[in-house]
Structures are given as C-alpha cells and as structure tokens.
Amino acid sequence: MSIFSIASSGLSAASLRVNVAASNIANVQTTGPLPVSGASSPSAAPGSSGIAPTFPAAYVPLRVDQVSQSSGSSPGGTSATVSPVSPSYTAQSDPSAPFANGDGLVAAPNVDIANEFAQLAAAKYSFIANAKVIQAYAETEKSLLDITT
C-alpha cells in the first residue's frame, strides 16, 4: 500500500469520526418514547385509547470503530466502520412530553457530550497529521522529479 493511500484512509476515518460526533451532538436532545418490551406497536401517549398517535423513536447514537489494516497482501492504513451505541438510550424524566410513559419517562440518546468533543479533537489532529503526510509525500516526490530531470 502506498504512503498516499495509507494517509488517505486516515483522512477518511477522521472525516467519518467528525460526521458521527457532529450527528450525536446535534441529536443529543432528540427524545422519544421508551421502548415497550413485548409490545407490537410503538409507545403512545399515556391515557389514550384505541387509535393512539405514534411517535418516532429516540435518536440512536453512533460510534466509529477504527482498526488497522495490518493483514492482507498490502498491509497499511486504517478502516473505520459505524455502529450503534449499546445501550442506545437512557430513561429521562420529562412528564410534559406527549409520549412519556405513566411514570413520566422518555428515552433519551445515550450520548456522552464530553466524549463526543474528545472525538472531534482527536479527529481534527488525525486529519491534520494525515494531511501533512500527504503534503510531505507530494513535496518529496516533486523534489525527486526535479533531481532526475
């Protein structure tokens, strides 16, 4: 694997990390009804009967799993995949929500804001480092071409 493709895979992973952290931060207050175990339909407003309105589920936060591509015919670089956080929600008190259960609880995304900002910072520095690698590679290649001509 070339230096350029290794650094490019790092740039892609950093970009994915930023997108996931930004999505989690933007949706940190997007609540929904608590999942009801054994129910065939989504939770509805308490006290309603028969035909109850349905509400969208709480935002499911995501995480980035990044691994080194150290095996194969040309090792090097990194691979990043997105997967949901487990558990995806925590119970939060909001009795005024139309979808709150009988105890006044709703499902809130299981997002750790401090961790999300740490992910943003790590992604920023990873992106900068990989961009510098590409820049150094381009400068070295240019100077080698200047020497040979």
pLDDT score of 85: 95
- Per-residue pLDDT for 41 more than 80? no
Residue 83 CB-density burial (10 A; 0-12 exposed, 13-18 middle, 19+ buried):
exposed
Single out the residue of 81, 78, 101 nearest to residue 91, CA to CA: 101
pLDDT score of 1: 64
Q: How confident is the model at residue 53 (pLDDT cuts 50, 70, 90)?
A: low
Single out the residue of 84, 110, 85 nearest to residue 32, CA to CA: 110
Looking at residues 138-143, what average pLDDT do you find? 85
CA trace torsion 1, 129, 13, 22 (10° rounding): -170
Looking at residues 143-148, what average pLDDT do you find? 71
Model-level pTM?
0.78
Amino acid at 147: I
pLDDT score of 42: 44
* Between 15 and 72, residue with greater pLDDT: 15
Summarize pLDDT for 3-16 with one digit per residue, the tens: 888 999 999 999 99
DSSP letters along the chain, please?
--HHHHHHHHHHHHHHHHHHHHHHHHTTT--BPPPPTT-SS----TT--SS----PPPP--EEEEEEE---SSS--SEEEEEEE-SS-EEEEE-TTSTT--TTSEEEEE---HHHHHHHHHHHHHHHHHHHHHHHHHHHHHHHHHHHH-
Q: What is the mean pLDDT of the chain?
A: 86
pLDDT score of 49: 38
Looking at residues 34-52, what average pLDDT do you find? 51
Between 20-29, 49-58, 104-113, the lowest mean confidence (pLDDT) is in: 49-58
- Per-residue pLDDT for 101 more than 90? yes
